Amino acid sequence: MAKVVSFSNQKGGVGKTTSCVNISAQIANKGKKVLMIDMDPQGNATSGLGISKSKIKSTIYDVIIGRSDIKDTIVKSNFKNLWVVPATIDLAGAELELYDLEDDKLRFTEIALDSIKDDFDYIFIDCPPSLGMLTVKALTVSDGVVIPMQCEFYSLEGMSQLMNTIKKIRSLYNPSLQIVGILLTMYNGRLTLTGQVVAELKKYYQDKLFKVPISRTVRISEAPGYGEPICYHDPYGKGSLEYAAVAKELMLRI
């Protein structure tokens, strides 16, 4: 049965989608069957895998409102062992609709995932950059969460907010939710600020930090423009090797 992992951080621009796409592709490349669910209305994870939004017939939004079965929304990507449930801007409307649903109908995501868990080894969910209902639903159905973050003090502030949200979800909906790891992105070890933030993180989250941070590289930044994960765009580059190491560690953690 598939392990379900969400990638979440309410702060935008921290490499959340980039990490979800690239770790999904790395694990799929290792022979595991991976499904990536795009829960972000921006749909960047969808386009990051080269999937044209104009050709999409149904999305995760259709699953949320009960218009489509999740099996009918799954799209095979052009990459080995990697499938996608895509998203478009229509998903932005689902945030409000979720608030109007009664509690008994809020199980739609659990029911949807239960029907496909036997078909995959891993299901990765790219959450929107917020702590709204879409993120709450994703964390409610997840076995674990990966938190990508930059080495900035604003990111440290956001970390405490996210940790409080995770505690609430554990107490209300999902007591088994675990923090798989905190992933440092756009890393530059030469900066004094980076060292200060890492030192602060180690005080409180030493055992949660992934061993290998993801460096800021041009290749990682340009890969989405080609609709390719970094392991296909630049397979022997620094970014690809770093994401391969993180993917390997993630598989050991969950």
pLDDT of residue 101: 60
Domain with 196, as residue range(s), is 3-253
Which pLDDT belongs to residue 160? 83
The answer to whether the CB of 246 falls within 8 A of the CB of 124 is: no
Beta bridge partners of 122: 3, 34
128 near 89, Cβ under 8 Å?
A: no
Q: Please tell me the pTM assigned to this model.
A: 0.94
Beta strands in the chain (DSSP E): 3-7, 34-38, 75-76, 82-85, 122-126, 144-150, 178-185
Per residue in 93-124, is it b (16+ CB within 10 Å) or e — as a string?
A: ebbeebeebeeeeeebbeebbeebeeebbbbb
DSSP 235: T
Q: Report residue 163 as tokens.
A: 């940790």
The residues, ordered by sequence, that sit 6+ positions from 40 with a Cβ below 8 Å of its Cβ are 17, 87, 91, 126, 127, 128, 129, 134
Amino acid occupying residue 229 = P
pLDDT given for residue 154 in this prediction = 78
Separation of alpha carbons 209 and 227, rounded Å: 29
One DSSP character per residue, 100-112 reads HS-GGGTTHHHHH
d(CA 83, CA 138): 18
- 165 Ramachandran zone, left/alpha/beta (phi>0; psi -120 to 50): alpha
CATH number at residue 31: 3.40.50.300
Instruction: Report the number of distinct structural domains present in the chain.
Output: 1
- The predicted pLDDT at position 104 comes to 47
DSSP calls for 49-79: TT--GGG-S--HHHHHTTSS-HHHH-EE-SS
pLDDT-flagged residues of the chain (< 50): 104-106
Contact residues for 43 (Cβ-Cβ < 8 A; gap 6+)? 53, 86, 87, 88, 89, 91
Q: By 3-state DSSP, what share of the chain in percent is helix, strand and coil, each rounded to 5?
A: 50, 15, 35
Closest-CA residue to 166 (of 147, 185, 151): 147
- Predicted confidence at residue 103, as pLDDT, reads 53
User: What's the pLDDT score for residue 38?
Assistant: 97
